Homo-oligomer: A and B are copies of this chain.
């Protein structure tokens, strides 16, 4: 079916904001193996997690209920920017000369500029309800930390962010965002001012903070089941919007993949329709899904978190310093890992320079400057669209435009001037 009108953006009304999250757990091809206690290696129970998370989030981590109602106060904040637009990338299609129809879900319109606030708001809400006064978290370049800082400001929670020292010193702008929303930001590791830090050290600092203070819980921006659950609003909205566009279903759903939350958010609601291909794009410098092993591993370098069943490069893996900081994680979401292991989802690795080439082509045709992470998805989309051209097939491609690149322009400067290293 080819539409003859020129509609570019398919917009849902505010009343069409989803009122429940879709839970993928009961529908996975194989049941997830449980997380294990880092000390005993026995399955963890709710009580083990209670020092870190409020009970509703622990329940969401484990429940088999197919749908979870979104609380009203969460909806009240999500509607500051949701439903987000579904945009047909007509100008990119024309530039590629492809018969494919390309649609993207624009998550860059949130206050923090990415999909991250979808779960930050929910986590801040449940913590505020439980009487938590303060949240601690880690952040690399600052995407997640800024989303949580925004969310905490909405519920009058204090927010303490441990930011990887190298980013804290060299990429100050997301620190400024966090501080503007009222968060307190320190460089990690806190106990060694000469150490450049890593996501591993920052998780350790944040978990230690939460574990040792009664008024404080810990908050994580990806990987965990409840995080992917909160992100499913993306795919649920996209499904309705594709119907508005006259599309029966996407042939392929594409997302970039680091910890898995933006990909899970758009892909999980399409999981049960096996005619829809699901594809993860990851950096070839941190090829968790394509070159990692599926096994139990820690979420952090120091081995303080529960062991999760996932694809991993090893918790001591140190990825090169590529620009898509949000994709530099040694492990991956257990849900995404399970989908790849059971071959329900495909995974592809691509080098940094190819993702910037795709991002710039998108910027010059569609106008918007993508985050480097999002550039991985766009690389995948362009390759899929060219494959459709080769095959002479009208395929429908859906992807998640997970964030804008206004705070990543130094990376574009490197690319524009030939200074971008590939690995």
**Residues in A lying within 8 Å of B, measured CB to CB:** 6-9, 11, 13-14, 76-77, 79-81, 87, 91, 109-111, 113, 150, 153-154, 172-173, 176-177, 179-182, 360, 363-364, 366-369, 404, 406-407, 409-410, 412-413, 416
Contacts and interface: CB of A to CB of B under 8 A. Distances in A.
A404 B412 CA distance: 20
Contacts of A109: 109
A179 B367 contact: no
Given A9-B14, A76-B6, A176 B413 contact: yes
A154 B413 contact: no
A80 B409 contact: no
Contacts of A173: 406, 409-410
A176 B409 contact: yes
Contacts of A407: 406, 409
Contacts of A177: 369, 409, 412
Nearest to A179: B416
Given A364-B153, A364-B182, A410-B176, A11 B8 contact: no
Contacts of A13: 11
A360 B80 contact: no
B179 A111 contact: no
A7 B76 CA distance: 9
A83 to B, nearest CB: 9
A109 B406 CA distance: 12
Contacts of A9: 14, 79-80
Nearest to A111: B367
B368 A79 contact: no
Number of copies of this chain that the complex holds? 2
A180 B412 contact: yes
A105 to B, nearest CB: 15
B367 A412 contact: no
A180 B360 contact: yes
Contact of A367 (B154, B363, B364, B369): B154
Contacts of A406: 113, 173, 404, 406-407
Contacts of A113: 406
Nearest to A153: B364
A14 B8 CA distance: 8
B416 A80 contact: no
A229 to B, nearest CB: 22
B363 A416 contact: no
Nearest to A356: B180
Given A176-B409, A416-B176, A150 B367 contact: yes
A110 B85 CA distance: 13
A13 B13 CA distance: 10
Nearest to A359: B180
